[in-house]
Structure 1
Amino acid sequence: MDDLLTYNYLAPSALLKDNGSEALFLSQYSEIQKSTDVPCFFLGRVKEPFTMARCLVALSNVVKSSFNLSPFQLALLKDPIVTAGNSCVRFEGFSHCAGVYARVDLLADALDGEFLANGTTNVDFNQPMLTALSSIQNNENVMLSIGQKEVGLDVEGKTVVERKVPLPVKWIKGLSSVQIYLSQSEISHTFNKIQTQQLFRSMPKGQVKTDYFLVIKGNTPLFSPMKSEGAICLGGLHRLRLLEPLLPFIKQLQVFAHSEMQATTWQFSFGSLRFSLSLSRDPWRGFSGEGATLDALIDNVSQGWMDIFEQNAYANQTFDPSLFTIKESLYLSKTENVSAQLAAMGLLGFDLNDNVFFYRQLPFKISRIMQLNPRLKGAEKLIAGNKVEIIQNTLGRIEARVEGSGIFHTVIFDGNNQRCTCEWYGKHQGARGPCKHVLAVKKIVMV
């Protein structure tokens, strides 16, 4: 069970009804606790409760789905992560296979309440609450509370309600990796409601095993098995059906594509609410194993940096490394890769609409992030065993020989190009992050 983290909640989440009003209380848990004595992060009224409820149910459907796992693994229910602060609330979650990432953004205009604190927790989405969400109508008065407002505790009488929720380690890796892909994505298309419905009607039935392409014919967007110039490529097209329950309510669809087509993001707009769905390149590839964060993790972020960051960062706040540097009188050279580094550690999310990173403290210890990359640990082992020999290190070119299991691999850096003679590089050609041999050479050269 090394791939699960078990969290204990003091009380289950609940939707409570009283005198015609409804209040949604999300139970919280975190391995880390910022100093705060307030009962919850946010408490207030949701202006569009029906839309919010539909989006949260859709997010739960993503979390309960899988596209490459066994029925036994599917039986494990996972719960979303929520960040409250800076006048907005964000819910995040992955499919079981970590190949689909979903996020619900409740912007400032969607909420009427008070942010008593800011932070991120893993929340409890139990079945009774999901059933209640499904029954919410738009004319109802719904209050949203992030974090339990009040919890009764009777230790001797053992009246505390406890709920154990398994959280996959691959979620932690996925939450850091997917932000790197989002930051490298650009908007490709914007469709209105009618165009979006036409696009989804062109989707083939059943499980799609081959690549499909988003193409435009006249003014009509279509999914086609035939590639054309400028078309967006995606594998596992059937995963987009997770969005179908939201189609009747959307205002527009924006499509974002990764610069090398390693991910696509499909964002539904509901005015003051947004629902985003990001797909990995293929259904059998989870964001947790893509290796997008490995380059950023080579150069460790010092504890001093982290202490300063913790003092200045607030949930959902835009992160600008230049302003951060000026405020703390640090050298700009130290911040050139800091956004990627902090995102790789799970401390930053990415907002595609504003094209900025935002702070969100994951409810996991940072040390856990650093321990979840076997290729990085493999590189450190190679260095510790003196198995890396730098043969050439001149301007623009590096050549090294790395000892493997009964074989030597050659690593060459030529400008921005990196290649290795190992099987991993031969199979993926660098599309899924660097191999451990390339990482080892990088770490030595950077010292």
Structure 2
Amino acid sequence: MSDVITYRYPVPSVLHTGAAPGLFLAGYSEIEKTTAPSFFQGTLEQPYITACCLITLANVVRSGFTLTPAQAAFTKDPIVTAGASKLRFEGFSQCAGVYGRVDVLPGGHNGSFPANGTVNVDFNQPMINALGAIGRNDTMQLTVGAREISLQDQEGGMVTEKKVPLPIKWIKGLTTVQLFLAASDLRYTFNKVQLRQLFQGLPNGTVKADYYLMVRNNKPVLSPVKNAQAICIGGVHRLRLLEPLLPLADELQVFAHPDMQSTTWQLVFGNVRFSLSLSREAWRGFSGEGAALDALIADVPDHLIAALDKYGYANQEFNATLLAIKEQVSFEQIDQLTARLAAMGLLGYDPDNNLYFYRRLPFKLNRILSLNPRMKEAEQLLAEDKVAIISQQHDKVEARVAGSGVTHTVTVDGDNARCTCTWFARHQGERGPCKHILAVRKKAN
């Protein structure tokens, strides 16, 4: 499979000048959920802050913490979703280890949402220049359409955007990071003073060792020394992406995955949020994680997936627990459904209010489901009848899986699983299950 998808935009992006200047960004989608001409039309109530957040998102997209400068210069585009009276702009770093999102909440805009939808748009230096020209007292009009975004400001100039390729790992990261967000909990909330203290303690340069976030005497502290209550942060230098926004922020919320596989740092600006999620290590991107694999094991009926897909599109966001109670569906089945749709890229997650939001990715769903080679290899093991269940009692399973000149032993006990293969020995399950465990789980189910 090729490692890029080339998007061919129908028209170039252009910045018009004159009495009603506007930046019109060409968009592209392989599928269309709606034929509505636009998803949002209106003005932004915090245009300067929103512009600063979008510029920071562009910096995230341009960054690459495991890439050469030449590779990092190969910029990508954000995904824009309009729905539930909210605007969301999402993007990944080049290494796919940093995920950024700008959320414009109700009260952060004054406009209408004729329809709900998602569009992928051109987003590079000419647009950054246009956003950078927006002052504290300027206005910004925004239109998010099915094929373009228009940004109207008070400055002139003209810019033409060209089509760009979209890496497969970017799509995989987008589907994986939501599962980490859904499992994360709010650990700290810092005010402006604490926020300044925290970032003053950031170490200089590139940091390879783990750092830990803790609070001492009501002061946030970053330390290379582990503490039982501390949050583990890999590649803490990546937090410097947030520095341009610090003087504007009201507070910082820090979310952590229970197994410390990711941390999320959310800056609050009234009705605008900027979230930065970091993978466990700087060298390991979200696209390489195995979080989505477990969600793809269970045989979830297609009609249930289709039903939740329609529910998500109609309601745009929902609380999974409340949905299970309302529809009298088991929590386990709702978890399987939401995890499956998140793994398909249809659901994003807001950790600050425990809500899933619906996103129609501009990619074909069957392509997203085919992006997990370990799952495909597990299916092949089953097709070739190389998996033998030795014993099975409730959630405890022991099996043998034939490999290349060796037979692997797999034991599964509820959520815990072990395998004698080299993949498991190297990663101990921290990067998702190996193909042998996947095959055994699927056969046992």
TM-score normalised over the length of structure 1: 0.91
| Structure 2 CA distance for aligned equivalents of residues 231 and 333 of structure 1 | 30
Q: Are 2:25 and 2:149, in contact at CA under 8 Å, matched by a contact in 1?
A: no
| Structure 2 CA distance for aligned equivalents of residues 401 and 433 of structure 1 | 19
Which residue in 2 is equivalent to 1:29?
28
Q: Are 1:57 and 1:134, in contact at CA under 8 Å, matched by a contact in 2?
A: yes
- Work out whether 1:2 is the aligned partner of 2:15: no
- Work out whether 1:101 is the aligned partner of 2:93: no
| Structure 2 CA distance for aligned equivalents of residues 411 and 331 of structure 1 | 29
Counterparts of 1:260-279 in structure 2 under 5 Å?
260-279=259-278
- Work out whether 1:421 is the aligned partner of 2:420: yes
| Structure 2 CA distance for aligned equivalents of residues 55 and 162 of structure 1 | 21
Q: Are 1:77 and 1:166, in contact at CA under 8 Å, matched by a contact in 2?
A: no
Q: SS where residue 57 of structure 2 aligns?
A: helix
Which residue in 1 is equivalent to 2:154?
none
Number of residue-to-residue matches in the alignment: 435
What residue identity is the alignment partner of 1:183?
A
Counterparts of 1:295-374 in structure 2 under 5 Å?
295-314=294-313, 317-320=316-319, 334-374=333-373
Which residue in 2 is equivalent to 1:123?
121
Q: SS where residue 125 of structure 1 aligns?
A: coil
Q: Are 2:77 and 2:91, in contact at CA under 8 Å, matched by a contact in 1?
A: yes
Cα displacement (A) at 1:361? 1.1
Q: Are 1:257 and 1:265, in contact at CA under 8 Å, matched by a contact in 2?
A: yes
Which residue in 1 is equivalent to 2:130?
132
Pairing partner for 1:81 from 62, 79, 82: 79
What residue identity is the alignment partner of 1:169?
I
What residue identity is the alignment partner of 2:6?
T
Indicate how the Cα distance of structure 1 residues 4 and 334 shifts in structure 2: closer, same or farther if over 3 A, else same: same
Q: Are 1:212 and 1:235, in contact at CA under 8 Å, matched by a contact in 2?
A: yes
Which residue in 1 is equivalent to 2:406?
407
| Structure 2 CA distance for aligned equivalents of residues 320 and 408 of structure 1 | 44
Q: Are 2:183 and 2:258, in contact at CA under 8 Å, matched by a contact in 1?
A: yes
Pairing partner for 2:61 from 59, 63, 72: 63
Indicate how the Cα distance of structure 1 residues 57 and 336 shifts in structure 2: closer, same or farther if over 3 A, else same: closer
| Structure 1 CA distance for aligned equivalents of residues 149 and 406 of structure 2 | 62
Q: Extract unaligned runs of 5+ from structure 2.
A: 151-159
Which residue in 2 is equivalent to 1:193?
192
Q: Are 2:248 and 2:269, in contact at CA under 8 Å, matched by a contact in 1?
A: yes
Which residue in 2 is equivalent to 1:225?
224
Cα displacement (A) at 1:225? 1.1
What residue identity is the alignment partner of 1:256?
F
Moved more, 102-111 or 413-422: 413-422
Which residue in 1 is equivalent to 2:157?
none
Moved more, 59-68 or 25-34: 25-34
Cα displacement (A) at 1:330? 8.0
Q: Are 1:402 and 1:437, in contact at CA under 8 Å, matched by a contact in 2?
A: yes
Moved more, 41-50 or 313-322: 313-322
Q: SS where residue 103 of structure 1 aligns?
A: strand
Q: SS where residue 55 of structure 2 aligns?
A: helix
| Structure 1 CA distance for aligned equivalents of residues 107 and 65 of structure 2 | 35
Indicate how the Cα distance of structure 1 residues 80 and 145 shifts in structure 2: closer, same or farther if over 3 A, else same: same
| Structure 1 CA distance for aligned equivalents of residues 70 and 404 of structure 2 | 35
- Per-residue CA deviations over 1:426-447 (Å, capped at 9, x if unaligned) read 111111111000000011111x
Cα displacement (A) at 1:127? 2.0
Q: SS where residue 296 of structure 2 aligns?
A: helix
Which residue in 1 is equivalent to 2:214?
215
Q: SS where residue 163 of structure 2 aligns?
A: strand
Q: Are 1:321 and 1:338, in contact at CA under 8 Å, matched by a contact in 2?
A: no
Indicate how the Cα distance of structure 1 residues 433 and 98 shifts in structure 2: closer, same or farther if over 3 A, else same: same
- Work out whether 1:434 is the aligned partner of 2:433: yes
Q: Are 1:64 and 1:77, in contact at CA under 8 Å, matched by a contact in 2?
A: yes
| Structure 2 CA distance for aligned equivalents of residues 82 and 188 of structure 1 | 28
- Work out whether 1:40 is the aligned partner of 2:38: yes
What residue identity is the alignment partner of 1:105?
D
| Structure 2 CA distance for aligned equivalents of residues 109 and 411 of structure 1 | 53
Q: Are 2:388 and 2:401, in contact at CA under 8 Å, matched by a contact in 1?
A: yes
| Structure 1 CA distance for aligned equivalents of residues 221 and 299 of structure 2 | 45
* Identity over aligned pairs, percent: 55
- Per-residue CA deviations over 1:389-425 (Å, capped at 9, x if unaligned) read 1111123421100011111100011243211111111
Q: Are 2:24 and 2:149, in contact at CA under 8 Å, matched by a contact in 1?
A: no
- Per-residue CA deviations over 1:150-197 (Å, capped at 9, x if unaligned) read 99xxxxxxxxx8832111111111111100100110011111111111
Q: Are 2:305 and 2:341, in contact at CA under 8 Å, matched by a contact in 1?
A: no
Q: Are 1:87 and 1:107, in contact at CA under 8 Å, matched by a contact in 2?
A: yes
- Per-residue CA deviations over 1:324-374 (Å, capped at 9, x if unaligned) read 679999888754511111111111000111112111111111101111001
Cα displacement (A) at 1:13? 4.0
Q: SS where residue 293 of structure 1 aligns?
A: helix
Moved more, 209-218 or 1-10: 1-10
| Structure 2 CA distance for aligned equivalents of residues 406 and 284 of structure 1 | 32
- Work out whether 1:254 is the aligned partner of 2:253: yes
Which residue in 1 is equivalent to 2:182?
183
| Structure 1 CA distance for aligned equivalents of residues 284 and 59 of structure 2 | 19
Q: Are 2:7 and 2:163, in contact at CA under 8 Å, matched by a contact in 1?
A: yes
Q: SS where residue 8 of structure 1 aligns?
A: coil
| Structure 2 CA distance for aligned equivalents of residues 165 and 318 of structure 1 | 30
Q: Are 1:120 and 1:315, in contact at CA under 8 Å, matched by a contact in 2?
A: no
Q: Are 1:65 and 1:96, in contact at CA under 8 Å, matched by a contact in 2?
A: yes
- Work out whether 1:11 is the aligned partner of 2:11: yes
Q: Are 1:39 and 1:150, in contact at CA under 8 Å, matched by a contact in 2?
A: no
Cα displacement (A) at 1:12? 3.9
Indicate how the Cα distance of structure 1 residues 207 and 336 shifts in structure 2: closer, same or farther if over 3 A, else same: closer
What residue identity is the alignment partner of 1:133?
L
- Per-residue CA deviations over 1:257-294 (Å, capped at 9, x if unaligned) read 10011100000000100000000000011001110010
| Structure 2 CA distance for aligned equivalents of residues 149 and 361 of structure 1 | 15
What residue identity is the alignment partner of 2:412?
F
Indicate how the Cα distance of structure 1 residues 207 and 141 shifts in structure 2: closer, same or farther if over 3 A, else same: same
| Structure 1 CA distance for aligned equivalents of residues 413 and 297 of structure 2 | 19
Q: SS where residue 209 of structure 2 aligns?
A: coil
Moved more, 325-334 or 235-244: 325-334
